[in-house]
Chain A
Amino acid sequence: MDNQSQPNCPSWHDDVRRVAQGIRRRVLEHTVKNNGGYLSQACSSAEMLATLYLKVMNVGPVERPLVPPPFPGVPGPNNPNSFTGAIFNGPKAPHLDRFILSPAQYALVVYAALIELGRMDPEGLNQFNKDGSTVEMIGAEHSPGMEVMTGSLGQGLSQAAGIAMARKLRGETGRVWVFMSDGELQSGQNWEALQAMSHHKLDNMGIYVDVNKQQCDGPICSVMNMDPLAERLASFGARVIEVNGHDLDALAAPAELERDGRPLVVLADTDPCAGMPILQSRIPKLHYVRFVNEDERNRYQAFLADFCG
């Protein structure tokens, strides 16, 4: 997790490490500044998101870092101005991949990633959670990097499957990548989606699950256990690959597999404190970091200074 290039590593590793480190730094900065943020999600998923954008997904470029447009009003028959945040993921084309963010509370992490990737203007993050902005706290379809409404957990995978089905019917070669968190798999709709993906052989879909083993109320095993997750997914017909979520080669490898009719699920085992040992003292309250007092905030401020230094 350092910035140093290591011998015998492919060159894309440097880019992924730089972006992952940038994600952590920006989300930490934001959390210190705003006294709150989805910090552990940044730590667990930084390598995953960076690898998805830089190595796994075949997405097109944006001309220049985009400034998030203001909220155009809700979609409707009389609103021709509505748009989705997919514009930050480059153009849509039959051969290009698509990205669907399922846990919409990861939006802050995606925004940070988009800045590091040169897809969003750094100023965009200053609009976070500001009235009239599209850079919303719980991302919606108009938020940078997002394309569908996923804040009601469980709906992202089904919508992505519909998109993948449409692309399959059209014979498009581009794939649909879904980023998920493990906790949301408790929702039954995901399992309905998985059985449909298997039944309709949507092997043009790939799901990367951030298995950080945390959810809002605490550790998943205490809230609603899902073990054995890999076996459950496989029994629904998914092609399950378990990897270390901070190992870049391991994260990238499943996308290279020849498609075999099964939807791909990559269970990325992650550490919600990865790169920020300071978070460990908050375990098991990791879902949303709000400082309990000024002293704690100061300690994070000092950590941030170290982090940047």
Chain B
Amino acid sequence: MEILSKVHAKNLVQWAKDKPEVLVLSADLTSSTEIDLFRDTYPDRFLSMGIAEQNMLSFAGGLAREGFFPFIHTFAVFIYRRAFDQIAMSVAYPNVPVRMFGFLPGIMTPGGATHQAIEDIAVMRALPNMTIFECGDATDVESVLDVAHAVNGPVYVRMLRGEIPRLFHPSDKMQFGKARVIQEGTDITLLTTGICTEEAMRAVQVLQKRGLSIQHMHVTTLKPFDDPSVLEAAAKAKYGVITMENHSIIGGLGTIVAEVMAEAGLGKKLVRIGLKDTFVHGASKPYLMREYGIDAMALIAEVERLVDDRFGIVESELAQTYLAPVHSLAKAEAL
């Protein structure tokens, strides 16, 4: 598997080159959110706002009303927790195009509960006019800018930084409202978001070898959530549907899928893998994923429970699994 470094830092500079109306706003986390290169390249379009997120969000609303596209960069918690009223009234209500890039979603930081955005999707999706995306790999991080920029209204992105895997071929870009099919199958439909997609891919490869047929789809648009292919996949699953996310099981992907399944009258079992209504504490990503049950082994355990079987999979099998960048099956050609 290819690992890339500082994808957003370079990509944003290139992408914004011919977009003078794009401004980047920082709340004293400039290198932590990979906008230092942007600051150095386009100093006139970089606005330092200090550790003052409430003002930053309302200020961005003012800029957006005047025709600019403010790109907010900070840790996810400091966007939606600190400045929720400001997002609601200065940004979401007037439906202005503020793009909010929330870094360190879920357990992606050892910074502890104060830094871990575990209910951001739940909170943000309740806001009218809000669109929500989540990135799961380098291709998502590169292509989310175009997808977000095409939205008429505010956008919240769960963003990745640092070393990021390339799970999808660079030409297999994120698309608005379309889940990517990684694997087709009929026993279980597995819907994953963000960093959980990579985890799930490891488990799925081994489970397939044990004879299970899994429909694995990577979801990047969390709101609106109306991709018909997701419901179709859920409907054909013999044993049921599993969602897997780096977020509380309340209000995130699991809840969203439960809502659409229930409204469609789809009487399938649904298993929600995620943080089980709990805060998390400061520790490493692998430790937290294992401890709170959002890693590949947790997925395997839930699959075993769902199909009432045991596959005797040991962790070393997963570690050896090589993940090559895939073309999602949604694409006609594998260029």
Contacts and interface: CB of A to CB of B under 8 A. Distances in A.
A96 B306 CA distance: 66
A158 B58 contact: yes
Interface stretch (A118-126, A163-171, A221-229, A277-285): A163-171
A72 to B, nearest CB: 13
Contacts of A186: none
A60 interface: no
Contacts of A170: 66
Interface string B40-67: 0000100111101011111111111111
Interface string A64-92: 00000000001111000000000000000
B279 interface: no
A77 B54 CA distance: 24
Given A77-B129, A166-B66, A199-B50, A193 B59 contact: yes
A27 B57 CA distance: 35
Interface string B85-108: 110011001110000000000000
A148 B152 contact: no
Contacts of B44: 169
Interface in B119-163: 128-129, 151-153
Q: Which one of B44, B52, B153 has the highest number of Cβ atoms from chain A below 10 Å of its Cβ? A: B52
Nearest to B58: A158
B179 to A, nearest CB: 22
Given A155-B86, A158-B86, A199-B48, A141 B94 contact: yes
Contacts of A192: 50, 52, 54-56
A244 interface: no
A195 B56 CA distance: 11
Contact of A169 (B52, B58, B68, B90): B68
Interface centre among A77, A164, A192, A199 (most CB of B within 10 A): A192
A163 B62 contact: yes
Interface in A140-182: 141, 147-149, 151-152, 154-155, 158-167, 169-170
B49 A196 contact: yes
B324 to A, nearest CB: 38
Contacts of A152: 85, 89
A189 interface: yes
A7 interface: no
A158 B129 contact: no
Contacts of A148: 61-62, 65, 90, 94
A188 interface: yes
A303 to B, nearest CB: 38
A192 B48 CA distance: 13
A76 B128 contact: yes
A166 B85 CA distance: 22
A130 interface: no
Contact of B95 (A75, A158, A161, A166): A75
A193 B61 CA distance: 13
24 contacts: A74-B128, A75-B93, A75-B94, A77-B152, A77-B153, A148-B62, A155-B89, A158-B54, A158-B62, A158-B86, A160-B62, A162-B63, A162-B64, A165-B47, A165-B59, A165-B63, A167-B66, A188-B54, A189-B86, A192-B50, A193-B59, A195-B52, A196-B50, A199-B48
Interface of A: 74-77, 141, 147-149, 151-152, 154-155, 158-167, 169-170, 188-189, 192-193, 195-196, 199-200
For the complex of A and B, the 4 pairs showing the least CB-CB separation, nearest first, are A162-B62, A158-B58, A166-B66, A192-B55
